[in-house]
Structure 1
């Protein structure tokens, strides 16, 4: 029996260091917990709810603006008539008879016939895509000219400027002298230019009226 007890005591002595280490670990844990835990009494948290504002819905009554009626017109001011005024009475002939067979007189004249609207003259161009050309060229003009005897004897020479309009058919219309030299040369130039025939000018493929200026030169040989 003595041997068994001694063995148990020997085992306990061997375990003393282990027990000491476990006790130190427990002590350290208790110290850590003691420092970590807040031992002060906790204040009770109070939640205060603000009072909500109460919104009252009021029904809006639409007001109607009353328009005042316009004031009635003022009554006319009565005009006083003197007692001495006497209204003249007109005699109406109710016995007048209407004679159907009687000739009607004093009939107004019929209205004049409406004036016919004049058609506007076609536009006269100055420059067109295809200008008029003299049929036969300048030779046709100078073959027509006969030098006036008065101008020949006086030795008059010069250039006569004739302006005219070439119509859609190539005819010369409204010729006039822009600049002349006299001694019968102006009249001769007008005569020959009026007899010329032109190839009409064209604008966008159609014949049109074109204003044309042509110089006629008179020179003695």
Structure 2
């Protein structure tokens, strides 16, 4: 028998063997289904005890959030000590123009409005009043601080053509309460307050008054408050 005939017979047997295996498989599956035991019938008489079972309880855990702590406040800057004689741009100061109402001066040339006194011209009513460009604050003396003195001082100053204070005199003095709602006019404060106020007034510098476009001397009133 040659090689070709052997291969032909093997192919014919292959189909027979395949069909036989399929039949055996089907019979095995059919027998397994027919003779499979009935579980429900076998477990009818059994009693299950739940006590022996382990009970697992699930608890819902709330999600926690860590609050961010507020940052500590910044350390305050140390106070800066400035001298009494400083240039301040936005500091408000009460200045009232003293418009002098003069009676008929007659032949008295010293009180004639707008006349020359020496080399300076003093205008009682200038077109533009002096405006401060540099101010000075009175010193709150140690004695006044100990006594708790609160006061208001009105000082009339003469501002020359150069913007300097050439004259200064105290016109009114008042004692104030803590919230400045009440005041009492006095003739003297003491404790060096008047002297300190006059020194501060003389250190002021102004843009001089103008009349008809020319620089002239003029009076203004400065108001200082001490201890408030």
What is the TM-score normalised by the length of structure 1?
A: 0.41
Higher relative contact order (CA 8 A, sep 6+): 2
Comparing both structures, which one devotes a greater share of its residues to strand? Answer: 2
Structure with the greater alpha carbon radius of gyration: 1
